[in-house]
Chain A
Amino acid sequence: MKQRLYFFAIVLTQLTAVFALNRYPDWFLHPLTYPGIVAGFSYDGEAPVTDAERMYCVYQECIVKGSLQQFREYEQRDSDYYYNFDADSLRAIHGKLYELDSFYSSILQGDMISAFGLDSTGLQNSFVVEIDSLQRPDWIDETFYSAAGYYYGVGMYTSRSNVNDAWKTAEEKAFFSIMSGLALDIRSVLITDTARDSDYDRVSSIRLKYKLKGLEIVERYPDTTNDIFYVLVRIEKQNVFSPLLKQSSGR
């Protein structure tokens, strides 16, 4: 009898989770209210803790280096840049994060999003938020801005694809918004495909080299009307380093 009740409870939880995309825990939507909490996303069979440990290190300190080429006509992106963090940091944090809460972002795909923290009692007074009750924030109309000693970046991505990937992409785009809002080395090249007659395209090449310390996720907003996820991130101005900024300030 007990086993049947447990089974029924699990099934009920699973069924409830089917509708989870209309409800998010507050720690996920307003992470700044819960300092010390890191969200981890499951992907490709990896548990959310894998992503959480990496992102914990990225938020602490990372060096963004690489390039991005964008073909105008073919609408292609060739990205070859990384957020590098110290491998020693990862070794130091490995196995030390507690899983404090989790929810299914996709039952069918088995995708989960979890809250992690160094303190096992770190997540207090969180609650579930109905998406419909959320007010549309003003910051989603921005891309990059500065206020009160911080740089803010906004990233957005369609939510029609995999939910975890969409949130993750929006977050990374928010980081990129900060860097592109400050200074980028952009070169434009006109290329001609000699294999075809008069076929050409313009390629923009962006080089990145930034050191970022203390990245914070301020807010996440799911726009269910337009199927877009928005993420707002911020970083203290004094924690942004780039030789490109030195060049631009020296002019």
Chain B
Amino acid sequence: MKKITLLMSVAAIGLLTLVGCGGHTPAVADDLTEIADPFQELQDMANGFIKDGNIAVVGVGTSTRQDIARDKARASAQAKLAESFETKVEVLKKKFTEELGSDMTNELNETFTNVIKTTSKTVLYGAIENKAKYFKDNKTGMISAGVVLYVSPDVMNQSLLDQMKNKPKLYERFRASEAYKELEKEMENYDQ
């Protein structure tokens, strides 16, 4: 008797669970419409670049004019690219600090911080626009443009290296000059 009662209880719970899991309709399904991303193809392309080790973003801009829409899209992509680059550099700095512990020299820390600000502009000029796509809203006449911008790691790394090479380290700030005599002559004129 006890066994039967137990079995019936389990069956009842199971039935309730099944009912609970099956055929659940969303409360407001009728009010929502899923919209496809018109630039999904561009995003997939950007993801492909990222997978290959690049930094890539999709920028979007709208205007009644196609050329302006494209310019806006490019500017938006440039901004996103700069932000992506900054994030990557910060991650590099963090990784470096973790590997070396507290042995991060003062100048090196400064170098990484400066790279965020100055190199981002260099990266923007070296960014490659891979593909553009346009959509026109027939009702409003507005044109939406999307572009993919990416930067290869070689460009990025070289920018970082160039920045680091140009930064005098603490001890190398005191340096021997073969052209010291010329420097002395220059002392006469401040504008040199």
**Bound Cα distance A223, B117 (Å):** 34
The contact of B173 among A46, A71, A162, A172, by CB within 8 Å, is A172
**Bound Cα distance A17, B84 (Å):** 46
Decide: A82 and B170 in contact? CB cutoff 8 A: no
**Bound Cα distance A247, B190 (Å):** 9
Given known contacts A44-B171, A209-B187, A87 and B105 CB-to-CB distance under 8 angstroms: no
Interface 0/1 of A209-251, CB less than 8 Å to B: 1010000000000000000000000000000011110010000
Q: Hey, which chain A residues are within 8 Å of B176, CB to CB?
A: 54, 57, 84-87, 89-90
Q: Hey, which chain A residues are within 8 Å of B166, CB to CB?
A: 80
Given known contacts A161-B102, A243-B188, A243-B190, A82 and B173 CB-to-CB distance under 8 angstroms: yes
Which residues of A, 147-192, contact B by the 8 Å Cβ criterion?
157, 161-162, 165, 168-169, 172, 185
Decide: A85 and B189 in contact? CB cutoff 8 A: no
Which residues of B, 88-142, contact A by the 8 Å Cβ criterion?
102-106, 110, 113-114, 116-118, 120-121, 124
* Number of chain A interface residues as a range: 35 or more
Given known contacts A80-B166, A86-B177, A168-B170, A161 and B183 CB-to-CB distance under 8 angstroms: no
Asked if B24 is at the interface of the complex by the 8 Å CB criterion, the answer is no
Of the candidate stretches B14-22, B33-41, B74-82, B150-158, the one touching chain A is B74-82
Q: Hey, which chain B residues are within 8 Å of A168, CB to CB?
A: 170-171
Decide: B190 and A209 in contact? CB cutoff 8 A: yes
Decide: A76 and B110 in contact? CB cutoff 8 A: yes
Q: How far is the CB of B79 from chain A (nearest CB, A)?
A: 5
Asked if B184 is at the interface of the complex by the 8 Å CB criterion, the answer is yes
Q: Hey, which chain B residues are within 8 Å of A196, CB to CB?
A: 79, 82
Asked if B51 is at the interface of the complex by the 8 Å CB criterion, the answer is no
Decide: A83 and B175 in contact? CB cutoff 8 A: yes
Decide: B187 and A87 in contact? CB cutoff 8 A: no
**Which B residue sits closest to A74, measured CB to CB?**
B117
Asked if B178 is at the interface of the complex by the 8 Å CB criterion, the answer is yes
Given known contacts A55-B174, A109-B103, A211 and B184 CB-to-CB distance under 8 angstroms: yes
Q: Hey, which chain A residues are within 8 Å of B106, CB to CB?
A: 157, 161-162, 165, 169
Of the candidate stretches A30-38, A58-66, A112-120, A124-132, the one touching chain B is A58-66
Asked if A202 is at the interface of the complex by the 8 Å CB criterion, the answer is no
Q: Hey, which chain A residues are within 8 Å of B110, CB to CB?
A: 76-77, 79
Q: How far is the CB of A3 from chain B (nearest CB, A)?
A: 33
Asked if A81 is at the interface of the complex by the 8 Å CB criterion, the answer is yes
Asked if A141 is at the interface of the complex by the 8 Å CB criterion, the answer is no
Decide: B114 and A76 in contact? CB cutoff 8 A: yes
Decide: B174 and A54 in contact? CB cutoff 8 A: yes
**Which A residue sits closest to B78, measured CB to CB?**
A195
Q: Hey, which chain B residues are within 8 Å of A139, CB to CB?
A: none
Interface 0/1 of B164-186, CB less than 8 Å to A: 00111011011111101101101
Asked if A78 is at the interface of the complex by the 8 Å CB criterion, the answer is yes
Given known contacts A109-B103, A247-B190, A87 and B184 CB-to-CB distance under 8 angstroms: no
What are 6 A-B contacts defined by CB distance under 8 Å?
A57-B176, A76-B110, A82-B174, A162-B105, A185-B190, A242-B187
Closest 8 CB pairs of A and B: A243-B190, A87-B176, A86-B180, A84-B177, A83-B174, A90-B176, A195-B79, A63-B183
Besides the known contacts A89-B176, A195-B82, 20 further A-B residue pairs in the complex with CB atoms under 8 A apart? A54-B175, A63-B177, A76-B114, A80-B166, A81-B173, A82-B173, A83-B173, A84-B183, A85-B174, A85-B180, A87-B177, A88-B180, A157-B106, A161-B104, A162-B103, A162-B106, A195-B75, A209-B187, A211-B184, A247-B190
